[in-house]
């Protein structure tokens, strides 16, 4: 089937195949990049956002512990800074939930953080009362101890869950990248093979065409030689015919001269015949006259004899 195709059709079909594979390659790359982008957006909007929220909460908890102890030791406005820190803890829970629907386990940890933050604020309220009563630092520290530990434990567990989720999302992105790599590699190899096949096909077709052209050229050359030989033969025959015509023309001229001569001879002969006839006629008349004269003489002799 392909051998019966025109060269133009072959080229269009070959290049069309290569272009089609290139389009498929681009489409596969775009689809895989879109999938990878989707996974990355999900990872960025959920996993990273939650991780950032947990890290911000852990930092707020550290500040709250620091301000709580400073208030025990020094008083001042550290209670207000502590209040801001616990408000930050509540905001962390809101941000974590806003990043996506938490799992039941995560929801339990978030509730533990809120409960711990509430307990911590209640402890600060008691601390303000104790400080107003001039309670010693040791007694204040004993009265409110360990309120931060449930919050710290909840943040630690959330970080572990986030690390596990990060690992899973990273594996998904890696799988998408590997799939894209394999697709691009496969289609790239197929494109190269098709290009090589197209090049071989075109070269083979051109070789056949050149071979046919050479065969036609050889045939034309042979035919030209035959035509040249025939032309030479015709030229030689024409020369021979021309010589024959010249000889014939000379013979005709000779015949014409002979005919003219014969005509002249005939005219002379005719004249001589006419003259001979005239002389014969005159001779006959003379004979007749002689016979008549002899008859008269005979008569006269007869008369005399009588």
| Any domain includes 106 | yes
pTM, rounded to two decimals: 0.52
pLDDT at 88 over 80: yes
| Any domain includes 249 | no
What's the rounded mean pLDDT across residues 78-99? 93
| Any domain includes 23 | yes
What is the domain range of residue 203? 2-211
pLDDT tens for each residue of 222-268: 766 775 676 677 567 667 766 765 776 676 677 667 666 766 766 76
pLDDT at 152 over 80: yes
pLDDT of residue 93: 94
pLDDT of residue 165: 83
pLDDT at 110 over 90: yes
| Any domain includes 302 | no
Q: Give the residue from 206, 200, 189, 190 showing the smallest Cα distance to 17.
A: 190
pLDDT of residue 106: 93
pLDDT of residue 1: 57
pLDDT of residue 86: 93
Total number of domains in the chain: 1
| Any domain includes 287 | no
What's the rounded mean pLDDT across residues 149-178? 87
Tell me, what CATH number does 94's domain have? 1.20.120.1730
Can you tell me the distance from the alpha carbon of 298 to that of 286, in angstroms, rounded to the nearest whole number?
18
pLDDT tens for each residue of 178-201: 888 888 888 888 888 888 887 887
What's the rounded mean pLDDT across residues 54-65? 93
| Any domain includes 47 | yes
pLDDT of residue 186: 87
Upper half-sphere CA count for residue 71 (Cβ side, 13 Å) = 26
pLDDT at 46 over 90: no
| Any domain includes 244 | no
């Amino acid at each position: 089937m392909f051998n019966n195709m025109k060269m133009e059709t072959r080229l269009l079909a070959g290049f069309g195949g290569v272009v089609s594979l290139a389009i498929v390659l681009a489409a596969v790359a775009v689809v895989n990049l879109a999938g990878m982008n989707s996974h990355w957006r999900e990872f960025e909007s959920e996993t990273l956002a939650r991780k950032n929220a947990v890290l911000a909460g852990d930092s707020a908890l550290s500040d709250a512990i620091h301000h709580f102890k400073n208030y025990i030791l020094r008083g001042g406005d550290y209670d207000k800074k502590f209040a801001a820190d616990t408000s930050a803890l509540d905001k962390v829970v809101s941000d974590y939930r806003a990043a996506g629907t938490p799992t039941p386990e995560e929801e339990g940890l978030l509730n533990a953080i809120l409960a711990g933050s509430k307990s911590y604020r209640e402890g600060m309220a008691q601390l303000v009362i104790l400080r107003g009563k001039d309670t010693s630092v040791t007694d204040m520290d004993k009265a409110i101890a360990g309120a931060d530990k449930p919050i710290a434990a909840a943040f630690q567990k959330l970080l572990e869950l986030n690390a596990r989720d990060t690992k899973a999302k990273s594996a998904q992105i890696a799988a998408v990248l590997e799939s894209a790599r394999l697709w691009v590699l496969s289609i790239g190899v197929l494109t190269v093979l098709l290009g090589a096949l197209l090049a071989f096909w075109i070269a083979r077709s051109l070789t056949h065409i050149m071979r046919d052209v050479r065969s036609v050229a050889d045939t034309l050359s042979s035919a030209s030689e035959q035509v040249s030989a025939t032309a030479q033969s015709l030229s030689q025959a024409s020369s021979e015919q021309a010589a024959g015509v010249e000889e014939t023309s000379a013979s005709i001229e000779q015949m014409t001269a002979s005919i003219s001569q014969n005509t002249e001879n005939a005219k002379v002969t005719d004249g001589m015949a006419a003259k001979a006839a005239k002389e014969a006629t005159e001779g006959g008349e003379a004979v007749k006259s002689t016979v008549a004269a002899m008859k008269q003489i005979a008569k006269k002799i007869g008369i005399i004899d009588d």
